[in-house]
Amino acid sequence: MSEGSSQDSGFKVVDRRPFSEDGTRRPDAEKEIEKPEVRHVPPAPSSPVDDRERGEDFDLEGSGFETLVSSLSTTAMFQLGALPGPAGEYIPPDMPNARRTIDLLAMLKEKTRGNLTPAESRLLESVLYELRLSYVEVGKRGARKHK
């Protein structure tokens, strides 16, 4: 459409800037400023909060500590080179970080002493045993390669 066209496109341009071209505040500027809409976003449908609100059974007990121990032990196994990478590739051992992760689990065991269920205590003890054994074995293999 050209400027001289007499057709109405239904499109209207409104200047909503709070200042005029000379820099003074326009008197109607305060009325035109719209505040952003604030919406409440409910939790995701599969969250434990929603499950409890709907009356569905959701077992939170045991999942947190066991998940933490499992995550840390898996990390240590990756660091020891005992597990393949995401694409199946070989990951070389990272002994200093593996040692830190194992020490972190040992610290967790000390700090939670007397506060764990028997099953949690057995889980942590067995994970630490296996990781320490693997650490020594990987260390021995590395020492043999360097001789």
Q: Tell me the pLDDT tens digit for each residue of 8-62.
A: 677 777 777 777 778 787 777 666 555 555 555 555 555 455 445 555 554 555 5
Maximum alpha-carbon separation in the chain: 92
How much is the pTM?
Answer: 0.56
Question: How many domains does the chain contain in total?
Answer: 1
**What are the backbone dihedrals phi and psi of residue 146, each rounded to the nearest 5 degrees, phi first?**
-90, 0
Question: What was the pLDDT predicted at 25?
Answer: 79
pLDDT of residue 50: 47
Average pLDDT over residues 62-70: 85
Would residue 106 count as lying in a domain? yes
- Asked if the structure places residue 53 within a domain, the reply is no
**CB-side neighbour CA atoms (13 Å) of 143:** 6
Using the predicted structure, report yes or no on whether residue 133 has a pLDDT greater than 90.
yes
Q: Is residue 92 part of a domain?
A: yes
Residue 104 lies in a domain: yes
Please indicate, yes or no, if residue 50 is contained in any of the structural domains: no
Provide the residue range defining the domain that includes 115: 63-145
Residue 101's pLDDT is 97
The pLDDT assigned to 141 comes to 86
